[in-house]
Structures are given as structure tokens and as C-alpha cells.
Structure 1
Amino acid sequence: MPTFMNVVRSKVKEGKKDELMKKFKEFFDNMKGTDGLISMKLIQTGPNNMCTIGEWKDEQSIAKARDKMIAGLDTVRPLLDEISPELGVTDPVSGPVIMEDK
């Protein structure tokens, strides 16, 4: 069971979805084999809205992978619209899993 998760909300620029999908495929491929990473998913929450979800073994694993994740997200940032002046182009959150139902 994952004990820690991260979610990054973003909004793709009009007409850039295909390019974004290609970049996320490269990003996900680069993250394969990262110690403690259980899975990564990209979900579409609206016509131009996406969330990246990472499942992690523990908080220490995501902390060790932070630079690698940021480098991957940096490759897609040019394809994203600003969510707000305060947030910029991403809205990342993370925390421990406190309930799970399988």
C-alpha cells in the first residue's frame, strides 16, 4: 500500500495537449525505476485541465526524487497556462495516505 501521494494540478495551453502527452510519456518513462515510486498517473479533469498523481512507498522516497520530478515537470511547463498569479502553472500538493479502500 502506498503511504504517501503527490498531486500536481495543471492547465494545458490550447492546442498543446498532444505535445503535452508526449512530454509526460517521456517524463513517466524517466521516472520508471525510481526508488519508492509505485505508480504515476495523468488524469484529465476538464477540457484543458490535468492532474498528475504519484503513489509512493513513503515520504522519504518522494523527498529523494524531488529534483528528478521537478526536472521532468520543467519539460512540460512551457506547455501550461497559468492557473493564477499566486500559483503559476502548477498547483502541487502531497501528503500521507490516511484511508484506502480496495
Structure 2
Amino acid sequence: MTAYNVVRFRTKPGKEKAFVEAHERVSLKAKGFIKGALIKTGERTFCVIGEWKDMDSLAAARPQMIGLLDTMRDLLEDLGGELGLTDPVSGPVVAEVK
């Protein structure tokens, strides 16, 4: 069953452009990865959305995703509320909207 992951970020002031450019250079070559997108959700806030073949593929790729995040951690601001730099969620598709 298809799965998605969503990760919320907030950049440090003045780092938005560098954060977007870092994502434009990313190439995630993980088994089961279908596609992903970076969306701007507000002032200095972004979400990455990834589509995966299944939850097993997504789970297996977490070390690679963390490695990509490590290349841009210095651009991020703590989200507060004990979240740290990211607010990740993921899960299998339970209904499709057409």
C-alpha cells in the first residue's frame, strides 16, 4: 500500500533561498521512493512531502533521509515545543481523494 511522509521545517531568518536551493540539488535514490516535493507553507516555513511504494520502503530509507537533512541542518530553526528542527509524520494511504 502506498505511503507518504511529511516533514515540517522552519528556516533561520534569511536562509529560505538556501533551503530551497538545497532541495533543488537533492536526489533521493531510495528503493520504493516515487516522488517528493518541497512546499512553502508560510513565512520561513516549509514541508517536504514524499510518496513511497509502501511503509517498508519508507522506513528503510530513513537513514538516507536523515543524511540529507544533515546537509542542511544549519539552515533550520528550532520549531519549539520540544519538537527540535523537524516535525515528521508518515503513514500508509487509507483513502484516496479524487
The TM-score, its normalising length taken from structure 1, stands at 0.89
1:25 positional shift: 1.8
DSSP-derived class of the 1:45 partner? strand
Structure 1 residue 16 corresponds to structure 2 residue 12: no
Gaps of 5+ in 2: none
Structure 1 residue 96 corresponds to structure 2 residue 95: no
Worse-superposed segment, 36-45 or 16-25? 16-25
Structure with higher helix content: 1
Runs of 4+ in 1 over 3 A off after TM superposition: none
Gaps of 5+ in 1: none
The aligned counterpart of 1:4 is 3
Write out aligned runs for 1:30-49 (5 A): 31=28, 33-49=29-45
Amino acid at match of 2:66: I
1:53 positional shift: 0.4
The TM-score, its normalising length taken from structure 2, stands at 0.92
1:99 positional shift: 1.1
The aligned counterpart of 1:66 is 62
> Contact 1:36–1:56 (CA<8 Å) still a contact in 2?
yes
The aligned counterpart of 1:83 is 79
| Offset from partner CA, 1:49-83 (integer Å, 9 cap, x none) | 10000000001101111111000011111101110
Percent pairwise identity:
47
1:101 positional shift: 2.0
Counterparts of 2:74 and 2:81 in 1: how far apart (Å)? 16
* Paired residue total: 98
